[in-house]
Structure 1
Amino acid sequence: MSAVLLDIANLNKSFESSSGTVHALHNVRLQVKEGEFVTVIGPSGCGKSTLLRIIAGLDVGHDGQVELSGRPITGPGIDKGVIFQEPRLFPWLTVEKNIAADLSLNKPEVRREVDELIELVRLQGFEKAYPRELSGGMAQRVAIARALLRNPRILLLDEPFGALDAFTRAHMQDVLLDIWQQNKTTMIFVTHDIDEAVFLANRIVILKPRPGEIRNIVTVDLPFPRKKASTSFQQFRVKVLSQFEKIEELELIDSSGI
């Protein structure tokens, strides 16, 4: 059995707004094991991105325990890779130099690892291309490769495919699963899309809003590769949908239109 990598207990997060105190997260308890793929889903305002920022060490103003490999998370670091909705590439650097970033491609070990990652994210032939020459999906693959080069213990993805068209999004889901299955990097993936959550995850963490709390955690024991049109997939989809009691929550989270 895999060891626990991320341990969250009694996590509470509040902040002040013009209308008073906002309780973003309340008594969140979650453990994530080495090599696990966890998706986090819930309506807007339930604290999904806040939770990810806390795990990333980008927000340390909270109460409770958040530990990675048994150590409190006190700030960002190379042990935590973060992928945002926008790729955030350096426009003046080529694909291979964006992946290397502050590391020198003149070092044989860096050159080798960058080449391996370019193959892993399916960008062979685009090594010398600039961000303006890439599609949105390709740019996100560069961002993912850049994060993986640092060999993070955990990769945190905040709706990374939210701005992509449906076809590209489906392709990127396949790419990400390939990366996860080959690298076994622990991943936490925030999404609004139920189909995406079921397609990718070992477990789905379902948050409810006001305050942000874990409503349920659903284990997805479907074998890979998964077919979204299959009966078993649709059964899991309905299982997740059933966790949302209010019609406005369904409207906010069910993006498939089914």
Structure 2
Amino acid sequence: MTSSSVPGLTRFNAADDGAARAALSEVCASTAWVEELLRGRPYPDVGALLAASDAAVARLDAAGLDEALAGHPPIGRPTPGDAVSAGEQRGMTGAPPALAAEVRELNLAYRERFGHVFLVCATGLTAEELRDALRRRIGNPPDREREVARAELARINRLRLTRLAESTPTETATVSTHVLDTAAGRPAAGVTVALTARTRGAWSAVGTAETDGDGRCGGLPALPGDATHARLRFDVGPHLSRERAGGAAFFPEVTAVFAVAPGEHYHVPLLLSPFGYSVYRGS
């Protein structure tokens, strides 16, 4: 299967370095692994991408392996907002309290013995199977266990890369705005607007734009497909200072946070005055 027949791989090959690096960092926390796979682009097919990943994992030194392991949460305790790890550890969902408690205790004992998180490719495993893997591996000699963890890391990276390479574009939400100066009775031109998105519990920058002569700002990039909230920050201080002949603005900036859903467009105007403002969802 060639790159052109795999939508996700095609996008990954064509992405700029920043976007590709961010995608790879979602797969593995090792900087060395990320940079090696980044240098290998473009990949002709998924098999070549997976082979490159295996080779990069095999070449990780002790520090690189530690960095990769540190990016994984303990079994049974996925990081809040980390849908990927939560999905991979689905087998722990609904585990009986006694079993969940035993897994927690084994996790602690494992970390105390080896100095890093217990890593296993948890996809498809039940809570009992995860517990049994902990029981079995906690007796390994440290050097042996490091190599077992390396092999599990390679398996996890392969699964995540396969999902990345075979993914299809998702619907995204879009945002626009315009700013009206209600005191002056005209649009507010030249106001810088910054858009950020919340995905998996974390905020990240999406883009910035400036209102035009009509006070409109329609050139903001689309939100990520998995965004749950958007935030508009209006840098209104310079505009208000100009309107007050250089006087200090009471509101140097205005921020609006709102929930979003894929495929929807959100037009969120700002009505501004020197000592008050309001925002709403328009059409």
Name the TM-score, length of structure 2 as normaliser: 0.24
Higher strand share: 1
Higher helix share: 2
